[in-house]
Amino acid sequence: MRWIVVVVAILAMGAGGWAYRQNHRYKHVAIHDPGKVIRCAWVAPDVMAELVTKHHAKAVLNLCRPGEMGPDRAREEREAVEGAGAKLYEVSLPDIDDPSSPEIAPHIAILKDPANYPLIVHCQHGFNRTGRVLTMYDVMFRGKTGEEALAAMPLFGRHDYAPLEHAFARNFDAFHAAEKAKELAAEKSKKPAPSLTTETVETTGSVEQTSYSEARK
């Protein structure tokens, strides 16, 4: 009987080790918006390539600072992402709670570009910075408030998101509302003046496409 206990213990240890390695390899991988947005921590190159392929991702947004994980890992990730057929954006996210900062504009531009979806978003741990960007996404495209967005996100064993993320979420609500008001006012100003005749006047409008270059560190 003793040998059975030993074998069971060894198998349990092996299974536990395998589960730990799998959890670490796929750290904080989660579907944020089905078919649109995936979140994760900084994962190994082969895992990132797997995620890009599995989810048919068009782009990956890396929020880490230049050199945060070392030059080798940055190079390996770029090779993995581009090798899998996606675009890599390396746009660090500063620790600020002001959405109107010019440093936040590139992230908003990336989120607004339909060509970037499905999109994978990650930082080092796939938590606070990633959560902040996904808050922007939820407010802009899913009709949520910033706090509603954070409340719906996984905590991955943590107690809560950082105070900075909550402050940013609240500020982004006001920022987004102001931006929408500006867009509405701009649209109204483009409307043609009413015709003084009984003829029907057809108007056609064109949308200016702004090109955002890929940020490379």
Separation of alpha carbons 130 and 121, rounded Å: 6
Domains of the chain: total: 1
Which pLDDT does position 178 carry in this prediction?
97
* 122 contacts 30 by C-beta, under 8 angstroms: no
Instruction: Flag whether 6 is in a domain.
Output: no
Considering the domain boundaries, does residue 88 fall inside one? yes
Give the residue among 141, 109, 116 at the shortest CA–CA distance from 209.
Answer: 109
CATH classification of the domain holding 172: 3.90.190.10
Sequence letter at residue 206:
S
Judge whether 86 lies within some domain.
Answer: yes
31 forms beta bridges with: 38
Phi, psi of 31, rounded to the nearest 5 degrees: -80, 120
pLDDT along the chain (217 residues), means of 10: 49 44 83 99 98 99 96 96 99 98 98 99 98 99 98 97 98 98 90 51 35 36
Would you say residue 115 lies in a domain? yes
Specify the pLDDT at position 196.
45
Torsion, CA 59, CA 60, CA 63, CA 66, rounded to 10: -100
CB atoms within 10 A of CB 87: 16
Q: Say if 134 falls within a structural domain.
A: yes
- Residue 118 has a pLDDT of 99
Return the axis-axis angle of helices 163-190 and 128-141, rounded to nearest 10°. 30
Write out the two tokens for 86: 């996606």
Specify the pLDDT at position 15: 41
From the list 103, 116, 106, 99, the residue with the least C-alpha distance to 170 is: 99
Q: Is the residue at 15 inside a domain?
A: no
pLDDT of residue 21: 52
For the full predicted model, state whether its pTM sits above 0.75: yes
Residue 158 lies in a domain: yes
Show the domain range for 125. 27-178
Tell me if 75 is assigned to some domain: yes
* pLDDT given for residue 23 in this prediction: 66
